[in-house]
Amino acid sequence: MSKPMSKYLSRKIKFVSVLAMFAIVFVNSYNYSNGALRPDSLITTGYNAAEMFEYFFSNGLFSFAVPMFFIFSGFLLFINYENTVQGYFNKMQKRIFPLLVPYVAWALLSGLAIIILSNFEHFNNLAFIKENNLGFEKFYMYLIKPPAYQLWFLRQVMLLTILAPVIYVLVKYTKALILIPFGALWFFNINFVLQSEALLFFSIGASLAIFGKWRIFTKRDNRLQAAIFALVWIALSLLQMYLAALTKNTILVNIVHKFTQAAGIAGMWLVFDHIVRYISTMKGLLLAAAHLFFVFALHEPLLRISYELAIIPDSSDGSHFILYICLPISIIAVCMIISMVIRKLLRPVHKVLTGGRNN
């Protein structure tokens, strides 16, 4: 069994999670495309400064965020995991409420919001509303395809939690060599029921916990290493941006994107060691950590609907740029305020909606 992690590591995971969640909001705020960004997404308007700026952050610098959350999920599941029948069911019992209950609640709430908004003149013609309005007769379908599409993350973590004994055996008895084929699936974007990104990075987190290797990441004295990874992270993000703008080679863009993600994970983790002591007592960050789940669960479809209302087909690049900067910050603030109000006035509801987190 793994030893309990240190207070420093626990605090660091919490604070990195805040930055990663904010990064995800900006990833989903990319407003030059109707669909979600992909590893091989191209810049559609050519050498366009506004879109290149957004792409640099959303599909480059901030692309570490989702893999980082899968690493944390795998690590936290396996940090004190016993691969016995009792150990497995103990973990399942502890995870079912924090994962399944919020998933069901937010999936149905997001569906209900779409149905309600479809009855108002200013909203019923929005493409996002039309695409996601299933009506009450198919209300149950929102459990499978919620308008809050970021809930796919919870679905993947639930599936991986159910498969915990399999992952434990594969990781432990291959000495983590199973990460090689998992990495190949991720590199080539091969997905089945389980997303290859989820499988690989969740398993990396599991490996760190199972073999106790996570302790090497608590070292805080190698500034040169942190600086190198940070520079590589930025350089790869810039390279991917230029390739996406100047070429149509999606294979090359995908390859660079993978290296950008890997460098971003390492860069964020190592650089944070050298700034955590300056921010660990900041009340604002601690406040954000306490209401992070609402930011995750509520920022979509708020972003999509807000963008549709604000952006018209001939909107200038300046409008896109200003919205990209201002709207995500506003959405984060709104989500946190809603969380604080519900927690203050309706604490049992807040507990259900967050799976008991920070209550």
Tell whether the model's pLDDT for residue 137 goes beyond 70: yes
Q: At 14, is the pLDDT very low, low, confident or very high (cuts 50, 70, 90)?
A: confident
Q: Each residue of 74-116: pLDDT tens digit?
A: 999 998 889 999 999 988 888 888 999 999 999 999 999 999 9
Q: Each residue of 67-76: pLDDT tens digit?
A: 999 999 999 9
66: CB partners within 8 A, 6+ apart: 24, 27, 153, 197
| Arithmetic mean of pLDDT over the chain | 90
Tell whether the model's pLDDT for residue 119 goes beyond 60: yes
Is residue 32, in this structure, part of any structural domain at all?
yes
Tell whether the model's pLDDT for residue 256 goes beyond 60: yes
Tell whether the model's pLDDT for residue 132 goes beyond 90: yes
Please report, rounded to a whole number, the percentage of residues in the chain having pLDDT higher than 70.
93
3-state secondary structure of 212: coil
3-state secondary structure of 281: coil
pLDDT at 221: 61
Tell whether the model's pLDDT for residue 238 goes beyond 80: yes
pLDDT at 35: 72
- Closest by CA to 79, choosing from 100, 94, 64, 67, is 94
Lowest-pLDDT choice from 87-96, 175-184, 311-320, 329-338: 311-320
Burial 187-209 (b: 16+ CB within 10 A, else e): eeeeeeebbbbbbbbbbbbbbbb
Higher pLDDT, 2 or 9: 9
- Across the range 170-186, mean pLDDT stands at 96
- Closest by CA to 191, choosing from 159, 166, 162, is 159
Is residue 2, in this structure, part of any structural domain at all?
no
Q: Each residue of 155-170: pLDDT tens digit?
A: 999 999 999 999 999 9
Q: Each residue of 274-292: pLDDT tens digit?
A: 776 666 556 667 778 889 9
Query: What is the model's pTM?
Result: 0.94
- Across the range 138-152, mean pLDDT stands at 95
Number of domains in the chain: 1
- Across the range 15-31, mean pLDDT stands at 94
Q: At 1, is the pLDDT very low, low, confident or very high (cuts 50, 70, 90)?
A: very low
Q: How far apart are CA 294 and CA 278, in angstroms?
A: 26
Is residue 1, in this structure, part of any structural domain at all?
no
Please report, rounded to a whole number, the percentage of residues in the chain having pLDDT higher than 90.
70
Higher pLDDT, 112 or 46: 112
288: CB partners within 8 A, 6+ apart: 18, 22, 295, 336
Is residue 233, in this structure, part of any structural domain at all?
yes
Burial 119-150 (b: 16+ CB within 10 A, else e): eeeebeebebbeebbbeeeeeeebeeebbbbb
pLDDT at 241: 96
Is residue 263, in this structure, part of any structural domain at all?
yes
- Across the range 232-244, mean pLDDT stands at 97
Is residue 359, in this structure, part of any structural domain at all?
no
Is residue 337, in this structure, part of any structural domain at all?
yes
Alpha helices in the chain (DSSP H): 7-27, 49-55, 65-78, 85-117, 127-132, 152-162, 164-173, 179-187, 196-210, 223-246, 250-273, 276-279, 283-290, 292-310, 317-345, 347-354
The residue segments making up the domain with residue 36 are: 7-354
Is residue 276, in this structure, part of any structural domain at all?
yes
